[in-house]
Amino acid sequence: MLSAEKRTLFSIIFGLLWVLIFVLLEAGLRIAGYGIDTRPFIVPRYQKDTYVMNTNFIKKYYPRKALTRPDTLRDMMIANRFSRQKSASALRGFLVGGSTAQGFPYLTNQSFGKMTESALKAGGKYQEVELLNLGLSAVTSYCVKDISRKLLRYQPDFLVIYAGHNEYYGTISATTGGNYFTKNLYLALQEFRLFQFLFNLRNLIAPAPEYTTLMEEQFQQGQLPLDPETDRKVAEDFIKNIDAIVRLYRKHNIPVIIIEPVSNLHDMPPFSGEGDAAFKEFIQRYAAVVQKGDLRELRAFYQDRLSRKEYDRNANARYLDALAQWKLSGQPELDGFKSAKDLDTTPFRAKEILREKLRAYCDERGAAANLHYIPLEEIMLAKDAPAAFGNEYFIDQLHFTQTGQRLVSRVLAERIAELFQFSAAEKERVAGFYGDDGRIDQAIHYLPAYRTDVYLKVRLLTENPPFTGMLIPYQRRDTDGVTEANVDPELVRLIFESNERKIDYPVLCAEYYINRGQIETGKRYLDSYLWNYPGCYRPYLIQARFQKIYTKDLYGTLATYKTAYLLSDKMKLIHDEIAAYLAEQARGDLFAEIEKYGKPIK
C-alpha cells in the first residue's frame, strides 16, 4: 500500500501530465493553424507600423459559427485601421456594444461613432482623433466586458459603451443557458484552441439551421413571458459586467462613458404578448378603433377595455392603451408605452429595470470611478418630445435613423470635448460640425447608394420574423427619406448585381458613373469604399487603378498600389499589376521599392 507521501506525489505527477497533455494539444493546434485568433486588432505581416481589425475575433462570440476556417487578412472587410505608435497629439477611443453601437443598418463608419470622430477632429484640439468601433450585432454585456478587457493593450484614452438591448436574446444571454459564472467561464475557455475544437465539434454534430436575418435566428429561442425574478437577475448580471469594466479602466485612469440605451416606444408595437392567440380578435378590433380616431367611439372602447382585467398582462393591449390615452388626452405618456415594452414576450428592447439599475449604478459610482453617464432619454425628451421615441429617430425597434445617429453623436462629442477640456472655441467648432447635414454626409461619405442599401436592409428585416408575426404590424412611411415609390431602381439593381457578382456595390456604382462620364461621382464612391474599409486591400487596389488612368500621379499611384500589395500579404496579382504599370511609365527603377519585400504569394 502506498504511503500518504507517495500518493500525494503520484497525484501531483498525474496532474502535471494532464497539464502537459493539454499544453501539447493546444500548441499542436496553434502550430497547425487551427481555430481563431481572439485579439481584436492584429499587425499585418508586411505593415508593422499598423493595426487592423481582426474580424476573426468576432467568431468567438457567435457559438454556432464554425471556428475551423479563419479568414485570411486578404479576405477580411476591415473597418478599423490605426497606427501602432500613438502620437502625443492623438486622441484615441473605442466604442463597444451591440448592433446599435455598430451602427446597423448603416455601415459602421457611417454611424454615430465616426460622426463623433469627425466632429472632434473639427474641434482642432488634437491633430489626430480615432474613435474605433467594435460594436457587434447581438452581443451582450458578457461579450462587451470580454472585448473591453482586450482593448487596454491598444492605448485607449477613453471607452464608450452603448449596450443593454441584447441581454435576453443575444449571444451569451438569458436564453443561452448557464449562470453568471458559467457564461464567463465559456468565454474564458474560448481563448484556447482545444476548447474551440471541442465546441466546434458540437456544432458539427448538431448544426444550426439557416436564417434570413440574425434577428430571426435569435427569435427562434422562444418567447419570454414576464418574470420579475428573471428580469431582476438579468439586470443585476448586466451591472456586474459593466462594473467589472469600470473598475478595470479606473485602475488605468481611463474614463468610461456609458450611453443610456433607449428605444422606439410609440411607433413600435410589441412583437408578441402573453395570451395573443386568445386575444387576437379583441386586439385587432381595438387597433382598428385606435386607427380610426373617432374619439367618442375610442373613449367607450377604452373604458370597456379597462374594466376587463384579463388583458392587463398582454403587451399589445397595453400598447393600444397607451395610444388611446395619447389620442384622448392629446399628450403621450411614456410610462404606458414602457409598460407595453416590458410586457413584450419577445424582449429585444432593454427593460426598464435594467435601465433603472444602470442609472442608479452610474449615479452611485460617478466621478469617483471616472465614469461618465449620458442620460439619453432625458436629452431626447428635452430636444424633441414626443417625437423623440418614434420613427423619426428610430429605424426599427431600437436602431437609430440618421437623425438619431446625429443626435447621439452630438451628445457624445460634446461630452468628450468637455471631458478632455476643449477650449470654448474648440467646443464651438465641434458643435458647428452638426449645423450642416451636408457636411456630415460628406464627412462620413454617405452617398445615395448607401441610403438605398439601408432601405433594402430595413425592408428585409421587416419582411421576416419576428416582424411578420406581429398582431399590430410595424409601419413606417420611409427610411431616411427613401420610400418604395421614390427608391432609385438603378441603385437597387446595382446593389443586387453586386451580391450576384460578389463585387462590393460601391465599386459597381463607381464603374456605373465613370462609364457615363461622371468621373467625380464615381471617384466619390471609390473614396467612400476606402473610408468604410481602410484595413482591406481591395479599396486601395481599386483606387490605384483609378489613379493611374485619371490622375497621372506616378508616385501617388505607386504608394496606393504599395498599400494594397502589403495589406493583401503580397498578392501576386497586385505585384504583377504594379510591374506592368511601372513598365508602361518607363520607371522600372521604382520597382525596387516593391521587390524589397520578397517574392509575392500566389
CATH assignment at residue 219: 3.40.50.1110
Taking the C-alpha atoms of residue 511 and residue 533, their distance in angstroms, rounded to an integer, is 18
Query: Under a CB-based contact definition with an 8 Å cutoff, are residues 80 and 94 in contact?
Result: no
Q: Give the model's confidence band at 210: pLDDT under 50 very low, under 70 low, under 90 confident, else very high.
A: low
580: amino acid identity, one letter: A
pLDDT on residue 509? 97
Cβ burial of 160 (10 Å; 0-12, 13-18, 19+) is: buried
Q: Is the pLDDT of residue 221 over 80?
A: no
pLDDT on residue 32? 80
Q: Is the pLDDT of residue 415 over 60?
A: yes
Which set of grid coordinates corresponds to residue 513? 458613373
Last residue of a domain, which of 308, 328, 343? Answer: 343
Query: Under a CB-based contact definition with an 8 Å cutoff, are residues 542 and 526 in contact?
Result: yes
Mean pLDDT of 34-60: 92
Mean pLDDT of 260-267: 97
Mean pLDDT of 277-291: 97
Shared domain check, 181 and 96: yes
The H-or-E segment that residue 532 falls in is helix 519-532
Shared domain check, 328 and 355: no
Last residue of a domain, which of 421, 442, 463? Answer: 442
Query: Under a CB-based contact definition with an 8 Å cutoff, are residues 405 and 115 in contact?
Result: yes
Q: Is the pLDDT of residue 482 over 80?
A: yes
Q: CA dist 182 to 56, 186, 379, Å?
A: 23, 6, 37
Shared domain check, 168 and 227: yes
Cis status, amide bond into 105, omega within 30 of 0: yes
pLDDT on residue 14? 64
Q: Does a structural domain hold residue 199?
A: yes
Taking the C-alpha atoms of residue 446 and residue 169, their distance in angstroms, rounded to an integer, is 31
Last residue of a domain, which of 442, 462, 492? Answer: 442
Query: Under a CB-based contact definition with an 8 Å cutoff, are residues 549 and 534 in contact?
Result: no
Q: Give the model's confidence band at 171: pLDDT under 50 very low, under 70 low, under 90 confident, else very high.
A: confident
Which residue spans within 105-214 are E strands per DSSP? 128-133, 158-162
446: amino acid identity, one letter: Y
Shared domain check, 359 and 338: no
Q: Does a structural domain hold residue 362?
A: yes
Enumerate residues 6+ apart whose C-beta is below 8 A from 46: 566, 569, 570, 597
Q: Is the pLDDT of residue 167 over 90?
A: yes
Who has greater pLDDT, 102 or 368?
Answer: 102
Taking the C-alpha atoms of residue 353 and residue 174, their distance in angstroms, rounded to an integer, is 15
pLDDT on residue 65? 58
Q: Is the pLDDT of residue 74 over 80?
A: no
Highest mean pLDDT, choosing among 62-71, 72-81, 438-447: 438-447
Q: pTM for the complete prediction?
A: 0.93
Enumerate residues 6+ apart whose C-beta is below 8 A from 387: 393
- Angle, helices 537-550 vs 519-532, to 10°: value is 160
Mean pLDDT of 282-302: 96
Span between the terminal Cα atoms of the chain, in Å: 65
Taking the C-alpha atoms of residue 348 and residue 174, their distance in angstroms, rounded to an integer, is 12
Taking the C-alpha atoms of residue 371 and residue 512, their distance in angstroms, rounded to an integer, is 49
Average model confidence (pLDDT) for the chain?
Answer: 92
The conformation of residue 479, written as its DSSP 8-state character, comes to B
Q: Does a structural domain hold residue 410?
A: yes
Q: What is the pLDDT of residues 296-312, one digit of tens each?
A: 999 999 999 999 999 99
Q: Is the pLDDT of residue 7 over 80?
A: no
Shared domain check, 299 and 363: no
Q: Does a structural domain hold residue 162?
A: yes
Shared domain check, 260 and 280: no
- Write down the residue that cell numbers 501530465 correspond to: 17
Half-sphere exposure of 535 (CA within 13 A, CB side): 25
For residue 26, the tally of other CB atoms under 10 A from its CB is: 17
Count how many domains the chain has: 2
138: amino acid identity, one letter: A
Mean pLDDT of 544-557: 95
Q: What is the pLDDT of residues 103-153, one digit of tens each?
A: 999 999 999 999 999 999 999 999 999 999 999 999 999 999 999 999 999
Cβ burial of 505 (10 Å; 0-12, 13-18, 19+) is: buried
Q: Does a structural domain hold residue 83?
A: no
Q: Does a structural domain hold residue 329?
A: yes
- Write down the residue that cell numbers 467594435 correspond to: 134
Q: Does a structural domain hold residue 407?
A: yes
- Write down the residue that cell numbers 459586467 correspond to: 241
Largest CA distance in the chain: 93
Instruction: Determine the structural domain holding residue 189 and report its residue range.
Output: 89-266+350-442
Q: Is the pLDDT of residue 68 over 60?
A: no
The H-or-E segment that residue 41 falls in is strand 41-42
Highest mean pLDDT, choosing among 6-10, 208-212, 294-298: 294-298
pLDDT on residue 139? 94
pLDDT on residue 67? 53
Q: Is the pLDDT of residue 215 over 90?
A: no
> Is 160 in a helix, a strand, or coil?
strand
